[in-house]
Structure 1
Amino acid sequence: MKEIIPIEEGDFYWSENGFRVFTAQYHYKRGYCCESGCRHCPFGYDPKTNTQ
């Protein structure tokens, strides 16, 4: 089972459409790329080429 990362101030914001958008801060805390094409991925994942 994957580790549960507690959500803290600055880890996400709400988009104008009501979606939770995780920030690079949260992704760094999580420590790995989920390869979902996240908007603020600090790991450089490109969903078009499926590479980091």
Structure 2
Amino acid sequence: MRRRNSMETDDFYLSEKGYRVFTEAYHLKRGYCCESGCRHCPYGYDPKTNHQ
């Protein structure tokens, strides 16, 4: 059985389809917006307008 480390529980979770979904905590630790339209972006980026 695979053990989970703290990064897995704090920084992302797996979606129903098996994709990694990064949490708001991960984005804040990274320190900047990647402008990819992430689901939990704390920086307010809007991919429709391409602005924060």
* Band of TM-score, shorter chain: 0.7 to 0.9
Structure with the bigger percentage of helix: 2
Question: What letter corresponds to residue 12 of structure 1 in structure 2?
Answer: F
CA offset at residue 37 of structure 1? 0.2
Gaps (5+ residues) in structure 1? 1-6
% identical equivalent positions:
74
Gaps (5+ residues) in structure 2? 1-5
Q: Which residue of 2 aligns with 1:48?
A: 48
Length-normalised TM-score, structure 1: 0.84
Which whole-Å CA distance do the structure 2 matches of 1:32 and 1:21 have between them? 17
CA RMSD of aligned residues (A): 1.1
Task: Point out the structure with max Rg over C-alpha.
Answer: 2
Structure 1 ranges of 4+ moved more than 2 A: none
CA offset at residue 10 of structure 1? 1.1
Q: Aligned residue pairs: how many?
A: 46
Length-normalised TM-score, structure 2: 0.84
